[in-house]
Amino acid sequence: MARNTNQSVWMVAVITILFTIMQSEALPTHLELSIKGEEEAKEYLISQKEELATLGCKPVLQQLHLTELLGNDELLDRLFFPQVVAINRCLPQCSFCGRHRLGKPTGTCVPDPDGMVEKVFVIFSYEKNKERTYHKVTALEHTRCMCA
């Protein structure tokens, strides 16, 4: 019985602490922001619309770790450089497909099947005799995106 009482006291203490933290003014809530008039509201809406329109659906430069391309290649057992390169990709999290004026998504940004090319990267590694060797690695680069 004492064990159940201790657990109950502990649970009440935890719930009280969590409730106090949730009620604290130090934590921002999304509903506290009040707009001072229609003009201020319009400024926010225009800015949001323009930002979504700027995103659009287009390739974005991102980093690519070459270890992802090598699979089980013997190069993985050696130190090679560069280990990371830049490549264009259609990234849904960096784009917007939809009605930007309303902020309503209607699709996802994906690579256009006719807009992909093989991009060649050159990497180098050192052999046991300390001689530098060069290797080609290819990856699909997105040159065009589309909303689907």
pLDDT tens by residue, 40-89? 899 999 999 999 999 999 999 999 999 888 877 777 778 889 999 999 99
- Cα 95 from Cα 146, distance rounded (Å): 10
Sequence-ordered list of residues with C-beta below 8 angstroms from that of 75, at least 6 positions apart, any chain: 123, 125, 135
- Cα 58 from Cα 115, distance rounded (Å): 11
**Comparing 71 with 13, which gets the higher pLDDT?**
71
Give the mean pLDDT of the chain. Answer: 82
- Cα 103 from Cα 97, distance rounded (Å): 10
- Token pair listed for 138: 């290819």
pTM: 0.68
Give yes or no for residue 30 having a pLDDT over 70: no
pLDDT of residue 6: 52
- The owner of tokens 């290819």 is 138
pLDDT of residue 117: 98
Rounded to the nearest 5 percent, the helix, strand and coil shares of the chain are: 35, 30, 35
**Comparing 30 with 126, which gets the higher pLDDT?**
126
- Spell out the domain ranges in the chain: 56-148
pLDDT of residue 79: 84
- Cα 29 from Cα 54, distance rounded (Å): 28
The CATH number assigned to the domain with range 56-148 reads 2.10.90.10
